Structure 1
Amino acid sequence: MSGQAAPGKLIAQQAEQQGGVLAKLVIFALALGFVPISSYFLSRDYLWAGNTIYAAITAIISANLVLVAYIIESVREESRLRAREKQQQPAESKKDR
């Protein structure tokens, strides 16, 4: 009976992980669209006093920061998944080798 339950648990865990990944992707995609545009207009009006070149540079930097944050979060997620898989695997004995 437990042999039949194991694949079901594995499928449920994978679906849960993929849902979290999809949510993060949507959040970062929205941030990648919203953050640079808003930083351009806000920095142009309030920080750089109408200078569009400095405002564009600010928008480029903010877009790159969002991309770097996404990469860092992806690497952290991957390391968490690997650590979780290591904890779930039973220890290998000399007899099993």
Structure 2
Amino acid sequence: MNVTRSEYKDRQPQNKGYLQKVSAEQKEYAEASAHKRITENNITNTYLSTDDLLKKILGKDNLNAAFKKVKSNKGAGGIDEMEVDELLPYLRENREQLIQT
């Protein structure tokens, strides 16, 4: 599905969202800006597609990419106090259990 995204290009005030006071003129309220998108089939709720999301997160390629990112950043000591060098053996040993939980 082709989706056009205007993201932050459309700065025209819309009638959606919350009103907030204009900082320069405290007497007036400004309208909230809403971002418009156009799709081929008029379904604009594309962000809520969660089909197979967990499968993608726990997929081999994604987990390997995450590990490589942690290793390249030399990690950061978390609550488990595990060193980066200890991570790969731990992941290999506990892979199935981690994916099931």
Structure richer in helix, relative to its length: 1
TM-score by length of 2: 0.28
Taking structure 1 as the reference length, the TM-score comes to 0.29
- More strand per residue: 1 or 2? 2
